[in-house]
Amino acid sequence: MATSKVIYQSNLRTDSTHIRSGVNVISDAPLDNQGKGAAFSPTDYCATSLAMCMLTIAGIFTQNKDYVIDGSFAEVQKIMASEPRRISEIIVNITFKCSRPLNEKEKLVLQRAAETCPVTKSLHPDITQQFHYLYE
């Protein structure tokens, strides 16, 4: 069974539907590649999925802990290269909002869990992945 259906609408825009849930997202080509930049570009989704995956894995990891990370967030910076046009680097700044203070060992284990997410392991090894963590 397919995961999603992607329809090219026109003017460098796609409309994608997640088959199981029916959730819909669109993409537009970025301003620097003939687009309007009116929505996430496909490469924006790729970079953003890294942070989404890291936070999801961190959430799974903390399910059986005595703290939660609800409200934690990530800011993502995508750096493009040319010839060929591609993502060259993704910088993810994660702010963990923990329900109690974590000691240094707990922080390190949480960070390492996040970094084992499937997207980190699926991106091409030529893409530099930088991770920075803050705790609130």
Is residue 51 domain-shared with residue 29, that is, in the same domain? no
Alpha-carbon gap, residue 14 to 92, rounded angstroms: 26
**Same domain? 15 vs 51:** no
DSSP H or E stretch at residue 130 = strand 128-135
Domain count within the chain: 2
Q: List, in sequence order, every beta strand (DSSP E) within 29-99.
A: 73-81, 86-96
d(CA 98, CA 82): 39
Co-location of 69 and 112 in the same domain: yes
pTM of the complete model: 0.93
Q: Are 118 and 82 contained in the same domain? A: yes
DSSP β-bridge partners for residue 28 = 13
pLDDT tens, the chain, 136 aa long:
999 999 999 999 999 999 999 999 999 999 989 989 999 999 999 999 999 999 999 999 999 999 999 999 999 999 999 999 999 999 999 999 999 999 999 999 999 999 999 999 999 999 999 999 999 9
Q: Are residues 2 and 49 in the same domain?
A: no
Is the omega angle on the peptide bond into residue 30 within 30 degrees of 0, that is, cis? no
What's the CA gap between 40 and 26, in Å, rounded? 7
Same-domain pairing of 24 and 59: no
Q: Which domain holds residue 108?
A: 41-135
pLDDT (0 to 100) of residue 112: 98
Distance CA 16, CA 31 (A): 20
Return the DSSP state at 32. G
